[in-house]
């Protein structure tokens, strides 16, 4: 196990790490880069030539393309070798998710199969279930699906009505109910289905095969985007599920669902990273070809601004993704060393970082939405034409803010989970906040007489953390147990936390990159970091002040708001020229090479 300081989930709010303690994408080894290239080659040879056809109602085309991925071994990246996989690290799994993310609706079908369709059985199944299902899911012989959502149970998953009753002979559970928005529904061979046994308060989970009598699948839904991804309702009418197909123990389904969703969220963050890079490549290639007023549009300042902002947000997202991915790997290794089963060790390691998973889901999906929207704008009228890839990307992007729990739910999870982890004793959040309140007027850490570049950035970030702690302290004191119902305030604080984590991850990456490659190689990355922190400070100030005026008034509110203002002060600089330098590299390379 690596001898590195690894923070617990949410602990970044009160503690610091050094650049040496994190993993950055520039450290991928040769095997990881080869796997990523295999994924990209697969998209080039097997997907892009049929990308228009795969968006038609012919679900066999998607199923066959998935099976081709299975034949190449791409389905088994996350699975141990003894179950037909390659036993790759979580970092590598995230790199595969990123690489496949450029595959439009195929990436949805692929990620549903390899993630939520397969890993619940790998992580929670017994040896018999793993042998019967995981071995075949690893090769693509079987395609998997995950069946949680119901017409009356979306974000509130535990309110589902699907029921399972033990048969009189004790050999089967009789399953009745309905599931909706099920990815891969038209052709999935196995389904992880959540239902309540008898009158249980919480869910249990079952492995159901589509060939079981009583399983019926509706025609595919007509959707705004991801049209090639099969999405349909599934009905269960007196389906006899063998008792040996109960996944985990009775009543463990809700825990399984939550933990698998944590995994889905964090992998979605990587998935949209790949889609973002694809949209950037489409943007710059068009900008370098399209002329207006006799010159390439890539020479216009407004287009340079758009291209640079696409780069900044993508680079920042990537920094955060691989930072937490290695933390998860270390946590998994620790769990295994303590004697935990590999499957449970993996899911417990992933679900431990629930705060970061929610951050990446929100920031990633909103980053892609921004980038693909700007890609359409860069294309002008052609961006609205179905002839261009960005039109498909625009429609496909929108679902990501709803998938794996809406962004509204995930914003609440960021702050709620962090506070619960603190109350559980993982780190002392309120003590750190209380300490700040004793000297509120001098709370901002001021610039020393001599300060290096990264020292300055980390001082800003420490101040951002103080602003968040003050907001948490004030909201908690003002609302107490009613804070749960103050979603606007919780959203303000969550936005502050998201901005902080992304900025800190990027600062750590650029600092480590300079240590690896030298100062001459990171000038542009400092431009990225400068703009990111400059903009993050403004958003943190705004969200902090908005929160303060919701839970305080009079002189106290003004005093708190003044603290927010002082804690969000960063040095000004020429953001236009910084963005122009970033855009110049992109247009010169004619592709994302950051």
Interacting residues of 97 by C-beta distance below 8 A, sequence separation 6+: 111, 267, 270, 271, 274
- Taking the C-alpha atoms of residue 449 and residue 443, their distance in angstroms, rounded to an integer, is 18
Burial class (CB in 10 A: 0-12, 13-18, 19+), 529: buried
- Taking the C-alpha atoms of residue 219 and residue 57, their distance in angstroms, rounded to an integer, is 10
Query: 3-state class of 445 per DSSP?
Result: coil
Please report, for residues 11, 103, 261, 445, the alpha-carbon distance to residue 8 in angstroms, rounded to integers and kept in the order given: 5, 33, 19, 25
Residue among 568, 567, 546, 566 nearest 557 (CA) = 546
- Taking the C-alpha atoms of residue 578 and residue 455, their distance in angstroms, rounded to an integer, is 20
Residues carrying an active site annotation: 404
> Quick one: residue 325, left, alpha or beta (phi over 0 = left, psi -120 to 50 = alpha)?
alpha
H or E stretch at 147: strand 144-147
Neighbours of 22 (CB within 10 A): 24
H or E stretch at 232: strand 231-242
- Taking the C-alpha atoms of residue 360 and residue 324, their distance in angstroms, rounded to an integer, is 10
Burial class (CB in 10 A: 0-12, 13-18, 19+), 271: buried
């Amino acid at each position: 196990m690596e001898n590195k300081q690894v923070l617990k989930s949410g602990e970044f709010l009160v503690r610091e790490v050094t650049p040496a303690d994190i993993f950055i994408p520039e450290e991928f080894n040769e095997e990881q880069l080869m796997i990523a290239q295999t994924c990209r080659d697969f998209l080039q040879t097997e997907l892009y030539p049929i990308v228009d056809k795969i968006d038609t109602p012919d679900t066999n085309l998607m199923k066959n393309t998935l099976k081709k991925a299975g034949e190449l071994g791409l389905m088994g990246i996350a699975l141990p070798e003894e179950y037909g996989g390659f036993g790759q690290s979580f970092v590598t799994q995230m790199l595969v998710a990123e690489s496949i993310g450029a595959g439009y609706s195929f990436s949805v079908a692929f990620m549903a199969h390899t993630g939520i369709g397969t890993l619940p059985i790998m992580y929670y199944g017994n040896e018999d279930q793993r042998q019967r299902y995981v071995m075949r899911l690893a090769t693509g012989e079987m395609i998997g699906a995950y069946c949680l959502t119901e017409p009356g149970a979306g974000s509130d998953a535990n309110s589902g009505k699907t029921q399972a009753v033990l048969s009189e002979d004790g050999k089967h559970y009789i399953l009745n109910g309905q599931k909706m928005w099920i990815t891969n529904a038209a052709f999935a061979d196995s389904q992880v289905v959540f239902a309540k046994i008898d009158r249980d308060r919480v869910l249990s989970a079952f492995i159901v095969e589509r060939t079981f009598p009583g399983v019926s699948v509706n025609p595919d839904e007509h959707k705004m985007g991801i049209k090639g991804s099969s999405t349909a309702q599934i009905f269960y009418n007196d389906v006899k599920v063998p008792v040996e197909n109960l996944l985990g123990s009775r009543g463990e389904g809700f825990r399984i669902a939550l933990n698998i969703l944590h995994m889905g969220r964090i992998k979605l963050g990587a998935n949209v990273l790949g889609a973002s890079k694809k949209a950037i490549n489409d943007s710059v290639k068009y900008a370098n070809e399209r002329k207006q007023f006799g010159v390439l549009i890539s020479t216009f300042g407004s287009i340079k601004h758009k291209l640079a902002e696409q780069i900044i947000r993508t680079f920042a997202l990537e920094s955060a993704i691989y930072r937490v991915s290695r933390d998860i790997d270390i946590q998994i290794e620790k769990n295994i060393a303590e004697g935990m089963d590999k499957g449970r060790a993996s899911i417990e390691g992933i679900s431990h970082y629930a705060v970061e998973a929610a951050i990446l889901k929100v920031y990633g999906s909103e980053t892609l939405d921004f980038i693909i929207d700007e890609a359409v704008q860069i294309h002008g009228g052609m961006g609205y034409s179905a002839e261009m890839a960005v039109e498909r990307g625009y429609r496909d992007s929108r679902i990501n803010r709803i998938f794996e729990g809406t962004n509204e739910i995930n914003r609440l999870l960021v702050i709620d989970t962090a506070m619960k982890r603190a109350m559980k004793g993982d780190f002392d959040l309120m003590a750190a906040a209380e300490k700040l309140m004793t000297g509120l007027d001098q709370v901002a850490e001021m610039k020393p007489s001599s300060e290096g570049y990264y020292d300055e950035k980390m001082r800003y970030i420490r101040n951002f953390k103080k602003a968040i702690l003050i907001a948490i302290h004030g909201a908690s004191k003002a609302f107490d147990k009613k804070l749960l119902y103050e979603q606007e305030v919780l959203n303000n604080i969550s936005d502050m936390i998201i901005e902080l984590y992304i900025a800190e991850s990027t600062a750590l990456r650029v600092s480590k990159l300079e240590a690896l490659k030298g100062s001459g190689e990171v000038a542009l990355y400092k431009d990225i970091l400068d703009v990111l922190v400059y903009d993050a400070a403004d958003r943190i100030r705004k969200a902090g002040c908005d929160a303060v005026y919701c839970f305080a008034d009079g002189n106290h509110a003004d005093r708190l708001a003044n603290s927010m203002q002082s804690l969000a002060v960063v040095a000004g600089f020429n953001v236009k020229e910084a963005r122009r330098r970033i855009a110049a590299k992109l247009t010169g390379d004619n592709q994302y090479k950051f």
